[in-house]
C-alpha cells in the first residue's frame, strides 16, 4: 500500500512526490509519522512558502549579505 501526498511540487527534473510504503502489520499512525518526518526533512513546506511570492535576485543577495554580517558580528570569526 502506498500513501501519496495531496499535492505535488515541480522541481528542475519534473514533478516531485513523497511516497511512503506502508509495511505489513504497521499502523497507519506510524506510517503517517514517517511521512510527516520525511516531509519535514525534504523541506517541501519551506519550498512552498519560498515560491509563494517572487523576490528579486538583488534583494536576495542583499539579505544574504546582511545575514552574513549579522552572524559575523554576533558570533565572531571563529
Question: CB neighbours (10 Å) of residue 34?
Answer: 16
Q: What is the pLDDT of residues 7-60, one digit of tens each?
A: 455 555 556 677 888 888 989 899 899 988 988 888 888 888 888 889 999 999
- How far out from the chain centre does Cα 32 lie? 17
Q: What is the pLDDT of residues 60-74, one digit of tens each?
A: 999 999 999 999 999
HSE (side-chain half, CA atoms, 13 Å) at 77: 0
Instruction: Please give the model's pTM, rounded to 2 decimal places.
Output: 0.49
Amino acid at each position: 500500500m502506498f500513501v501519496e501526498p495531496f499535492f505535488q511540487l515541480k522541481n528542475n527534473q519534473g514533478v516531485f512526490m513523497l511516497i511512503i510504503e506502508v509495511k505489513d502489520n504497521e499502523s497507519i499512525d506510524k506510517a503517517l509519522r514517517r511521512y510527516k518526518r520525511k516531509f519535514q526533512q525534504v523541506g517541501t513546506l519551506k519550498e512552498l512558502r519560498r515560491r509563494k511570492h517572487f523576490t528579486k535576485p538583488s534583494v536576495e543577495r542583499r539579505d544574504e549579505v546582511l545575514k552574513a554580517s549579522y552572524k559575523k558580528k554576533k558570533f565572531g570569526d571563529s
